[in-house]
């Protein structure tokens, strides 16, 4: 069985017909791989400053740098937060529109859970909640991360039909990249430039995939709904 046939077979599990044509899928694959990778390579290879200060979050860069502060501190990290916020905005706005449709409970649950989860993770990323804030008030970091795992599972349980019906492979790439980022952080936990670049590049790539997956899925859902409504007229 070819990879394309496998993708289509898994699409049928969801049963909602939210996947795209083979040509569009190829375009998405190239875009998802090329856009974030090109950006990350440009940041990593620019000759002016140590790129790790652009990858680290602003607070950490300011704390550990001997030359505080510069506007480029946290550049990649802040763009990652924009991706969280963008995903939340798109999903929650679409959820308000989907509320007016009939027989689309799966899509509504998908948009709401993805939007709320993304909004909370944006807050966490922006204010270092699980790294600094919660431990400061006595909540262990591992407990916060365990709660986040439960929230991610809840998202999957609520959205599995939509996920399998759409371009789920984009989400899979994102989850894999974030897993690599977490693994590097747990095993090395270093401010060495190479380690920082690898860890935060994987994280940014994962966030880009998260954003792309939800935007693509909701775009296809709206196109499908519009086409269905026109066919009924």
Please state the pTM of the whole predicted model: 0.94
Can you give the pLDDT at residue 229?
74
pLDDT in tens, 95-104: 999 998 888 8
18: CB partners within 8 A, 6+ apart: 11, 162, 165, 166, 217, 220, 221, 224
Cis? peptide before 69, omega within 30° of 0: yes
Can you give the pLDDT at residue 139?
92
Mean pLDDT value of segment 212-233:
87
CB-CB contact of 210 with 171 (8 Å): yes
Mean pLDDT value of segment 46-56:
95
Residue 182 has pLDDT above 80, yes or no: yes
Q: In this prediction, what percent of the chain has a pLDDT beyond 90?
A: 73
Can you give the pLDDT at residue 11?
82
Lowest-confidence range among 15-29, 94-108, 111-125, 210-224? 15-29
| In the chain, where the domains are located | 3-232
pLDDT in tens, 151-171: 999 999 999 999 999 999 999
C-alpha 214/C-alpha 87 separation (Å) is 7
Lowest-confidence range among 35-44, 98-107, 157-166, 211-220? 98-107
DSSP H or E stretch at residue 27 = helix 22-45
CB-CB contact of 94 with 222 (8 Å): yes
C-alpha 76/C-alpha 55 separation (Å) is 5
Q: Which residue has the higher pLDDT, 20 or 115?
A: 115
pLDDT in tens, 54-88: 999 999 999 888 888 899 999 999 999 999 999 99
Residue 126 has pLDDT above 70, yes or no: yes
Taking all residues of the chain, what is their mean pLDDT, rounded to a whole number?
92
In this prediction, residue 3 has a pLDDT band, given cuts at 50, 70 and 90, of confident
Longest dimension (CA), the chain: 67
């Amino acid at each position: 069985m070819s990879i394309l046939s496998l993708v289509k077979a898994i699409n049928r599990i969801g049963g909602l017909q939210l996947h795209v044509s083979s040509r569009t899928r190829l375009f998405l694959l190239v875009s998802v791989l090329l856009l974030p990778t090109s950006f990350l390579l440009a940041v990593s290879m620019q000759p002016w400053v140590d790129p790790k200060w652009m990858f680290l979050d602003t607070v950490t860069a300011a704390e550990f740098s001997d030359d505080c502060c510069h506007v480029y501190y946290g550049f990649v990290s802040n763009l990652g937060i924009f991706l969280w916020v963008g995903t939340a905005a798109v999903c929650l706005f679409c959820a308000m529109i989907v509320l007016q449709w009939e027989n689309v409970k799966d899509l509504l649950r998908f948009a709401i859970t993805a939007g709320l989860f993304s909004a909370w993770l944006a807050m966490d990323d922006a204010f270092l909640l699980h790294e600094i804030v919660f431990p400061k008030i006595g909540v262990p970091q591992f407990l916060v991360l365990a709660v986040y795992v439960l929230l991610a599972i809840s998202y999957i349980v609520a959205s599995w039909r939509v996920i399998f019906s759409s371009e789920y492979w984009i989400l899979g790439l994102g989850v894999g990249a974030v897993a690599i980022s977490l693994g590097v952080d747990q095993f090395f936990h270093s401010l060495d430039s190479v380690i920082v670049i690898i860890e935060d590049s994987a994280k940014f790539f994962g966030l880009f995939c998260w954003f792309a997956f939800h935007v693509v899925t909701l775009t296809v859902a709206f196109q499908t709904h519009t086409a269905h409504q026109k066919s009924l007229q």
